[in-house]
Structure 1
Amino acid sequence: MVDFKQIITATMVLFSVIDIIGSIPIIVNLRAKVGHVQSEKASLVALVIMIAFLFVGDEILKLIGIDVNSFAVAGSFILFFLAIEMILGITLHKDDAPETASIVPIAFPLIAGAGTMTTLLSLRAEYEVVNIIIAIIINMVFVYIVLKLSGKIEKVLGKSGLGVIRKIFGVILLAISVKLFATNITGLF
């Protein structure tokens, strides 16, 4: 049953975890490296990954012997290192020069990453699936708009503005990673 309160709450939770606004500096950087980001493709692939994981994520984790808490803790480490990169302006992982940035790393893991997947499983425990799907679609529309306008956003904010946003959202992402870790670590013992 469609419940607007659930849709709004799920949309806001996913919006904060996906953090597409905080990812603008990463998207701009990737666009500078590869030249073009296919906004439609990235948004559509992320949408498919998220909806598929909503339905089969728990079963996939069980099949390979991983519980949701372990997945969440692993996701917290990924978010932690991404946040450190954003805050300190360093690169901790070496990427081979990608030919396109649409699917990897934008659709996965930037948009539909471990934090998003863990959040989807958590939301499924509390909300109706139809409301979560609507929340995912709302977020993907917003992601598409931001991806499409990332060049214009870069021009408006400038390098220093992007740097400030990157550091602010780095701290927010760091806090999300710590919360994700703290919430799920007790479930491992």
Structure 2
Amino acid sequence: MNFSIKEIFTAFMVLFAVIDIIGNVPIIIDLRKKVGHIQSEKASIIAGVIMVVFLFVGQRLLGFIGIDVNSFAVAGAFILFFIALEMILGITLYKEDEEEALNATVFPIAFPLIAGPGSLTTLLSLRAEYAWENILVAIFLNVLFIYVVLKTSSRIEKLIGANGIKIIRKVFGVILLAIAVKLFAANIKILLT
């Protein structure tokens, strides 16, 4: 086992920024009003399972279609870059189809809100840089945090307020932008040599 507090913390922060569960509190509250009860435990567990499975199978899946991890990490850096721009500038570059879901616990909360394209791409990008054990711990910590936020979303919105959520999104957007640049620089060097 190759545990590193620094890697766990960095992987946790990257996933936390990409998942943006605090920034998604208004969406969660809106869904709760539309569909009623949201099963916080179920949503957290399903999202965690999706992320863990992708962490271990994603690389083989890429190998099967002939893409190496470094190329995927560079593509992931672009996605992180655009997610960061959305967070910082308050714009939407990509919009999901707005389909009414009967059960908001699995869709759209567990997937794609929590374990969506951004977080899955990020996992493989992190896999190119960090030990899987550290990423696994980071996923577990994020799932715990997601569970707490889902359980207390109404109280969080009242406590932080709309402006507080906007500030948090912008701060994590800047952090994510810096991580995207670092990820791109580290992996493009490997691809060009």
TM-score by length of 1: 0.81
Q: Matches of residues 29-178 of structure 1 in structure 2 within 5 Å? A: 29-35=26-32, 38-98=39-99, 99=101, 100=104, 101-109=108-116, 112-124=119-131, 129=133, 133-178=136-181
CA distance in 1, matches of 2:39, 2:25: 13
**Which is further off, 78-87 or 132-141?**
132-141
Contact 2:81 2:181 in 1 (8 A): yes
Map Cα deviations across residues 104-150 of structure 1 (whole Å, 9 max, x no partner). Answer: 322322784311232135333xx6x4x65444323322221123222
Aligned Cα root-mean-square deviation (Å): 2.7
What amino acid is the match of 1:152? R
CA distance in 2, matches of 1:153, 1:76: 30
Q: Provide closer, same or farther for how the CA distance between residues 133 and 116 of structure 1 changes in structure 2, counting only shifts above 3 A.
A: closer
CA distance in 2, matches of 1:186, 1:21: 24
Q: Provide closer, same or farther for how the CA distance between residues 111 and 148 of structure 1 changes in structure 2, counting only shifts above 3 A.
A: farther
Q: Mind listing any 5+ residue stretches in structure 1 that lack a counterpart?
A: none
How far did 1:187 drift?
Answer: 2.2
Contact 1:54 1:121 in 2 (8 A): no
- SS of alignment partner, residue 80 of structure 2: helix
Where in structure 1 do 4 or more consecutive aligned residues deviate above 4 Å? none
TM-score by length of 2: 0.79
Contact 1:71 1:118 in 2 (8 A): yes
What amino acid is the match of 2:44? S
CA distance in 1, matches of 2:93, 2:18: 22
Question: Counterpart of 2:24?
Answer: 27
Q: Provide closer, same or farther for how the CA distance between residues 103 and 162 of structure 1 changes in structure 2, counting only shifts above 3 A.
A: same
How far did 1:38 drift?
Answer: 4.1
